[in-house]
Amino acid sequence: MSFEPLKLRADFPALGRVFDDGRRLVYLDNAATTQKPRDVLKATRRYYEESAGNVHRAVHRLAAEATGLYEEARQKIAAFIGAPSPKQIVFTHGATEGINLVAHGWARKFLNAGDELLVTEMEHHSNLIPWQQAARAKGATLRLVPVLADGTLDREAFRRLLTPRVKLLAVTHASNVLGTINPIAELIREAHAAGARVLVDGAQSVPHLPLNVAALDADFLVFSGHKMLGPTGIGVLYAKPELLDAMDPLLTGGEMISRVWDDHATWAEPPQKFEAGTPHIAGAIGLGAAVDYLAKLGHDALRQHELALTAYALEKLGAVPDLKIFGRAPERLGVVSFALEGVHPHDVAQFLDRDGLAIRAGHMCAQPLLRRLGVPAVSRASFYLYNDRDDVDRLAAALLAVRKFFHAT
């Protein structure tokens, strides 16, 4: 598949929307969720229309077809991230559930009073609050690695904080606010040398970057399907086999058991051990279709497109008077957070929405980071495979109009 955003846009029904004033939708909120291509929509619809049986239960044809499609999706996802085995792929509702599963099933089981957990100031709340809760429950201490003015991690502070007391480093691969891509391989090596396990929040990186969990030696990795063209309500936890074996399940009930007696039960082998109840079958199948779509594009081609588009966006937005861009890390994603002097980010987003542009505004579920930046909220534009320079030009022109309107009044 050739990488041409205008042609790719035709694969996404939502991107064909034209508003009442004749302006087409410019979708720039991809860090929150991405649009869905027809391949994904067809795969989920086909399951519901043709093979809507439950998985791993009945022996009739529909159940067998559903189970086959569900497990085929697991295999595709394992290959996509370089997992040695599909048995290391646990389907969840999203990255948030994956982190909570590890916080409950591993941290609350193995942490002791006096142990430490290490996170960073750039974490999404989903990779902060579960560790706050686990630390409080076990009498452990949670410490945060600070962020420097350019939006990169303070590596000296990281090394000072990485003591033998640290049992887990939970770190985002890429910031949903700053776009910063952290040197995850180096962080994992240093954490392992200090005796700590590492959980990688890949919600922003897996959709955009080439990634091989085995080569990285990550202990845990989580990501969400809806940020990579897949359905909402489906995500993945990857973990090393010995960790999955040792962890307790978060949810119990049907499907995750081996044997049940009146007063006790034993668990199935991973990944079924962590997939209690009827899973989001259509979501997993849809995520498998999304992985197929991205694999045809190629991660390298996608990365080069986003690098060029982000550089162009930084240049164009940097020329807008009174606009401050947050984060200038040399390695970054297509995420640009900014503030327009004298205009609240929510007003910016609403003004742009009238012009057909969809961006995000708010604290981005990263209040500690915004506190470090000295602002209560920001506006954010985030790019993906179907965005092009024309989208950036529309954004820059709309921001100039916002500035003119608010400064004139």
Amino acid at 295: A
- Give me the pLDDT at residue 47, please: 97
- End-to-end Cα, the chain, rounded Å: 49
Q: How many residues does the chain have?
A: 409
As given in the structure block, the two tokens for residue 33 are: 């969720």
SS3 250: coil
State the DSSP code for 23. Answer: P
In whole numbers, what is the pLDDT of the chain averaged over residues?
96
Alpha-carbon distances, residue 269 vs 89, 220, 221, 241 (angstroms): 12, 18, 19, 10
**pTM for this entry:** 0.96
Domains, the chain: 5-30+299-408 (3.90.1150.10), 41-296 (3.40.640.10)
pLDDT tens-digit profile of 27-76?
A: 999 999 999 999 999 999 999 999 999 999 888 999 999 999 999 999 99
Cβ neighbours for 220, distance < 8 A, ≥ 6 positions apart: 98, 102, 106, 197, 198, 199, 200, 237, 238, 239, 240, 243
As given in the structure block, the two tokens for residue 17 are: 């929307």
Q: 257 has which bridge partners?
A: 267
Residue with tokens 């694969």: 11
Angle between helices 389-408 and 299-318 (to 10 degrees): 30
pLDDT tens-digit profile of 76-96?
A: 999 999 999 999 999 999 999
Amino acid at 306: E
Rounded Cα–Cα distance for residues 5 and 385 (Å): 6
Buried b or exposed e, range 276-313, using 16+ CB within 10 angstroms: beebbbbbbbbbbbbbbbbeebebeebeebbeebbebb
Let me know: does 159 contact 186? Beta carbons within 8 Å: no
As given in the structure block, the two tokens for residue 290 are: 């999304």
Rounded Cα–Cα distance for residues 165 and 170 (Å): 15
Let me know: does 269 contact 88? Beta carbons within 8 Å: no
pLDDT (mean) for 211-239: 98
pLDDT (mean) for 86-113: 98
Rounded Cα–Cα distance for residues 46 and 148 (Å): 49
On the question of pLDDT at 1 being above 60, the answer is: no
- Short-list 50, 94, 34, CA closest to 293: 34
- Give me the pLDDT at residue 58, please: 82
pLDDT tens-digit profile of 351-372?
A: 999 999 999 999 999 999 999 9
DSSP string covering 286-316, please?
HHHHHHHHHHHH-HHHHHHHHHHHHHHHHHH
Rounded Cα–Cα distance for residues 128 and 103 (Å): 10
Band of pLDDT at residue 121, cut at 50, 70 and 90: very high
pLDDT (mean) for 99-127: 98
Band of pLDDT at residue 407, cut at 50, 70 and 90: confident
% pLDDT > 70, the chain:
99
Band of pLDDT at residue 3, cut at 50, 70 and 90: confident
Cβ neighbours for 328, distance < 8 A, ≥ 6 positions apart: 150, 151
- Give me the pLDDT at residue 409, please: 56
On the question of pLDDT at 2 being above 70, the answer is: no
- Give me the pLDDT at residue 122, please: 98
Is residue 271 reached through a cis peptide bond, with omega within 30 degrees of 0 on the bond before it?
A: yes
As given in the structure block, the two tokens for residue 197 are: 């396990």
Catalytic residues: 365
Residue with tokens 């649009």: 35
Let me know: does 162 contact 194? Beta carbons within 8 Å: yes
